[in-house]
């Protein structure tokens, strides 16, 4: 009887681990997509290519290609990926302007959409805007 209980507990424990293993799916690889933000006053809306690379729990991203920033600056940054695919990217601007960015989403969703925002500092003051990123595996 005790042996049967021990076996039953082992089987139950193994079954409980199955969802955890499934959540640990690898999201490694390259993703490409589009970063979209509304316009600042006197500017066009931003629509630019973005590349995201995932290796384990680490992510890097860079804006580039066509549609370079409406303000003459490109952004880049890094972040983390959880075993369940939750991703958080933070970064900043390169090219003469100062900005801070953050985007969040889940790589397991279809389509992959990240939401966040940008905070820019200008001589005339500080401005913020919400932005979206849509990604697909490369």
**Token reading at 13:** 């424990």
The full set of domain ranges for the chain reads 26-137
User: How many helices (H) and strands (E) would you count in the chain?
Assistant: 1, 8
Cβ neighbours around 111 below 10 Å, total = 8
- Give the Cα separation of 69 and 39 in Å (integer): 11
Interval 53-109: pLDDT, tens: 999 999 999 997 655 455 567 899 999 999 999 999 999 988 777 899 999 999 999
Q: Does an H or E element contain 19, and which?
A: helix 2-23
In CATH terms, is domain 26-137 a member of 2.40.160.90?
Answer: yes
Dihedral through CA 119, CA 54, CA 82, CA 78, nearest 10? Answer: -30
Mean pLDDT across the chain, nearest whole number?
A: 83
């Amino acid at each position: 009887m005790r042996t049967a209980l021990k076996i039953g507990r082992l089987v139950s424990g193994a079954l409980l681990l199955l969802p955890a293993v499934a959540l640990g799916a690898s999201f490694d690889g390259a993703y490409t997509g589009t970063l979209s933000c509304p316009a600042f006053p006197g500017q066009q809306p931003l629509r630019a290519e973005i590349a995201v690379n995932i290796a384990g729990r680490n992510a890097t991203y860079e804006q580039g290609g066509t549609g370079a920033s409406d303000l003459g600056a490109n952004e880049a940054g890094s972040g983390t990926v959880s075993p369940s695919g939750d991703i958080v990217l933070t970064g900043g601007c390169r090219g003469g302007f100062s900005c801070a960015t953050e985007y969040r989403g889940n790589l397991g969703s279809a389509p992959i959409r990240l939401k966040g925002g940008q905070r820019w500092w200008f001589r005339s003051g500080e401005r913020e805007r919400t932005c979206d990123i849509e990604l697909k595996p490369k």
